[in-house]
Structure 1
Amino acid sequence: MVTRRFAALLAVGIPLPALLPAPWLSVAGVLVLAVLVAAADFALAGALARISLHREGDRTVWLGGTATVSLAVLNTGSRLLRLQLRDSWVPSAGASPARHDLRLAPAERSVVATTLTPVRHGDRAAVRVTLRSYGPLGVAYRQRRRGWNDRITPAWSLRVLPRFPSRRILPEKLARMRVIDGSVVARGRGHGTEFDVLREYVIGDDVRSIDWRASARHNDVVVRTWRPERDRRLVCVLDTGRTSAVRLGDAPRLDAAIDAALLLAVLAARADDRVDLLALDSTVRTRVEGGGHRTKVGRLIEAMAALEASPAETDFSLLARDLLRRDRKRSLVVIFTALEPAPMIEGLLPLLPALAARHKVVVAGVRDPAVSRLSQVTVATAADVHAAAAAQRVLTERDRIRDVLARFGATVVDTGPESFASHVADVYLLLKATGRL
């Protein structure tokens, strides 16, 4: 194959014979000479079959961050290689630079780095490494077929973890949880608490917490202390159906739900509770069980990273079968879904009484801030009035759905994406403090 230099060579050489007596023969001679030069340059280009490729670098990155993946190129042949290398990734990986120019002597190894700035969470794979070997004049080059390039390309996939903006409020929530633990111990026994330790009586302790038998054995007044029960079960249910694809600002609704679920999972793990994950739409997309302790939160993050919104309608009967058929222990079930009338009335509401009878249910939905802004438009044009009326109707229907869910025994979280994760965590902490998990 020839390059632009070959075309430039012809562009310069062909006009010159026009000044000679036999221009056509001279033009033919220039064409033959250019073809011979290109053929010689092609013959002197190094063979691509003697190239070895190897990758190394980052395997995971948080969405919004950058990762670096290196590609090592080894010339195992006996000729000098002048290479142009194109390292192609899926577009959402944000790979740069796309091309690298290399000059490799025999047995020489060179490493090129590709910086990845993903724009979506999930697995972002390397597609293909395409190689071109140029001759010394740069007039012609060798390039193999796509199938050969696919075979020599080292497989690599970057797992992009979902965005976790609520991580900034995690210290505040952990501090509140420690305060709750201390206040429950000082207050004494209550529903949802278990025995902790014996300690000496101090002024202000509830006399009902005095352990008289232990006091007799220790020849001192000792009291029992209590703490919130550990090893409770939390089930995070992510709705990945069509309503989760609705964009709220710059991100889809599913991303806000994943952010809140991550904050909730980290809090529950720090409280020594067990955290399970269930993601579903028309089928169960992922299920992670036993992810309760801190070392297992990574499994939840990895599972959430691969989740994407589906155009299918969510089948909540899958959730009912999963929780009612297999689980007997009472759990806190947090369902991240859209508080829209049609999916609620046809999907979740018929199953909610049975779920609420067995488990503590929280239904968490993200409110679209654009709808809230439209409902408060004050400009008195006809279009603005109609838009405000439509937005107000949507909010009224959400309020009705929220009231119905509450009457069926569910706790409802309905707020904007900027405070959604915080409100969900506050509900968990309140239930933890009052012993209602």
Structure 2
Amino acid sequence: MKRFFQNFYLNLFLTGRLFMALGALSALYLLAFFFPVIDVLPTVGLYVLVVLLGIDILLLYRRREGLHAYRHVPERLSNGDDNPIDIHIENRYRFPVQIGVIDEVPIQFQRRDVWFEIKLPIGGRKTLTYQLRPVKRGEYAFGKIQLYAQTPLALVQRRFTMGETETLPVYPSFIRLRTYELMAISQRLTDFGAKRIRRLGHSMEFDQIKHYVPGDDYRTLNWKATARQGQLMVNAYTDERSQSIYCIIDKSRGMRMPFNGLSLLDYAINASLALAKVVMLKDDKAGLITVSDRKGAVIPADRKTGQLSRIMEVLYKEKTRYLETNLELLYTTIRQTAKQRSLLVFFTNFESMSGMQRQLPILKRIAKFHALVVVFFENTELAKLTGRPAADVEEIYLHTIAAKFSYEKKQIVRELNLHGIQAVLTAPEDLTVNTINKYLEIKARQYL
């Protein structure tokens, strides 16, 4: 009994309709003071209100579990993507109820608007769905589900606390990864912006001998097979396989810069994961190296089962550091890890020509042994600034500085190309598509 009354006091709330009724009664009592003829009306009204209030409370507390609700969430959340969260609610009362629903989302989202109002008939069920977009990797703790039920009288509300507290990990963007996986399997990467690259010549990787069809290159005719079969046969070639592709991620302070909520490091992590998946679907080997002022994670290139899961687990834990990258240490790590010529996709961020020139000698040494692609980021905020017309002298000055930085980024691309290092300057949101484009281009041009 004591527990019942504790639950009653803690979970019973007055509604606006009750306060309106009390306000109307107060007005009647005030009028009755000036007009004694209506003296009986406020008293009758008070008795009626008390009776209705008692009925309302009795209806709400007659059943111990008038409502049932639970939350359905995925095993893990995808960073930078919209993740669906479902709340299932069932009405076990024998009358229709109006319900207010609050879900206690993780504190990282800083959201106070996860509120729903629904009406359920007798025995009715409903599923509420909303989206959460995390922008940082890590663990996110969900609280309880708070339900506020009221009868058709709507004088009071009863609160139900449902569901379980649960903690979910936020991993690099595996939702986008699945999308690129399906596109790669169906050869429809162009739907997401990946360009079709014209091939130069053909690969020398032999695939099979097949019957000649109009349009085949007559230079690939296999005369011995033609003589045996009595009809024209040609050699078919495919892209070279089992080539090693490494994603190298810079974890220095320059990668802490945020764009649309995500840091540059998280953009690089999501792009690396998508590229690794496409690489393995193309029968190449995917590897990973992370670096900052000290040696980070190293996963040798491979395409065996579980390689992508290992890469994802490593990327889940990576964080930026506050010092500059030690490229000499990176050079040593690459020499120890990549024993054969490989494609190295280096995700970093150059903000100035002088910053790039400090690292250029080491990049040139790496490019002697491997095909090196340096991927760095365009400052989209500066691009927006230069795209607006200047209204005063101060804005003209700001436009000039922004144009200088934008031009310097393009100069960095040209400087790297002059030294045999391929460069990709991209907006953060286009990073994944542009990185996959560069990989497909290198495969088509046979640069590796």
- CA distance in 2 between partners of 1:364 and 1:12 (Å): 70
C-alpha deviation, 1:390, in angstroms: 1.4
CA offsets, 1:311-353, max 9 Å, x none? 8556566866764544434421212222223995599657535
Write the distance in 1 (CA, Å) between the matches of 2:291 and 2:399.
Answer: 34
Q: Residues 280 and 86 of structure 1: is their aligned pair in 2 closer, same or farther, counting only changes over 3 Å?
A: farther
- Contact map agreement 2:222 2:235 (CA 8 A) in 1: yes
Distance 2:389 2:29 in 1: 78
* CA distance, structure 2, for counterparts of residue 136 and residue 175 of structure 1: 60
- Change in CA separation of 1:154 and 1:162 when aligned onto 2, cut-off 3 Å: closer
**TM-score normalized by structure 2?**
0.63
Q: Which residue of 1 aligns with 2:21?
A: 9
Q: Distance in 2 between matches of 1:315 and 1:24?
A: 85
Q: CA separation in 2, counterparts of 1:98 and 1:302?
A: 35
CA distance in 2, matches of 1:33, 1:227: 86
What are the equivalent positions in structure 2 for 1:353-368 lying under 5 Å apart?
355-368=366-379
Change (3 A) 1:216 1:171: same
What is the aligned counterpart of 2:120 among 102, 113, 117?
102
Specify which of 53, 73, 89 is matched with residue 90 of structure 2. Answer: 73
Partner in structure 2 of residue 41 of structure 1: 56
User: In structure 2, how many angstroms separate the alpha carbons of the residues matched to 1:349 and 1:365?
Assistant: 14
Matches within 5 A, 1:248-327: 257=268, 261=272, 264-265=275-276, 267-277=278-288, 292=303, 312=322, 315=325, 323-327=334-338
Q: What code does the residue aligned with 2:125 have?
A: V
Structure 2 Cα separation of the partners of residues 86 and 286 of structure 1: 44
Cα distance, 1:362 vs structure 2: 0.8
Is residue 291–residue 300 contact of structure 1 (8 Å, CA) maintained in 2?
no
Give the one of 422, 425, 432 matched to 1:414: 425
The code of the aligned residue for 2:128 comes to T
Q: How does 1:103-182 map to 2 (within 5 A)?
A: 103-104=121-122, 108=123, 110-118=124-132, 127-134=143-150, 137-143=153-159, 149=161, 152=164, 170=190, 176=196, 180=199
Number of residue-to-residue matches in the alignment: 414
Whole-Å separation in 2 of the counterparts to 1:81 and 1:321: 71
1:211-230 alignment, distance < 5 Å: 227-230=238-241
The CA deviation string for residues 207-244 of structure 1, in whole angstroms up to 9 with x for no partner, is xx9899x9999999998765432021222344566545
Give, in angstroms, the shift of residue 309 of structure 1.
8.6
Unpaired segments ≥5 residues, structure 2 = 1-12
Q: CA RMSD in A?
A: 5.9
One-letter code of the match for 1:112? K
In 2, are the aligned partners of 1:96 and 1:115 still within 8 Å (CA)?
Answer: no
TM-score normalized with structure 1 length: 0.65
Name the SS of the counterpart of 1:71 in structure 2. strand
Q: 2:244 aligns to what?
A: 233
Q: Is the 8 A contact 1:58 1:69 kept in 2?
A: no
User: Which stretch of structure 1 is more off in the superposition, 6-15 or 347-356?
Assistant: 347-356
CA distance in 2, matches of 1:203, 1:39: 90
Q: Which amino acid aligns with 1:334?
A: V
* Equivalent residue, structure 2, for 1:431: 442
CA distance in 1, matches of 2:313, 2:251: 13
CA contact (8 A) 1:162 1:255 kept: no
The range that moved more, 65-74 or 327-336, is: 65-74
CA distance in 2, matches of 1:230, 1:268: 10
Report SS of the residue matched to 1:184. Answer: coil
Could you report, residue by residue, the CA deviation over 1:273-299 in whole angstroms, capped at 9, with x for unpaired residues?
A: 123456677899998877858x98986
Say if 2:276 and 2:308, in contact at 8 Å, map to a contact too. no
Distance 2:371 2:363 in 1: 11
Instruction: Look up the equivalent residue of 2:199 and give its one-letter code.
Output: I
Task: Measure, in 2, the Cα distance between the counterparts of 1:368 and 1:264.
Answer: 23
Give % identity. Answer: 20
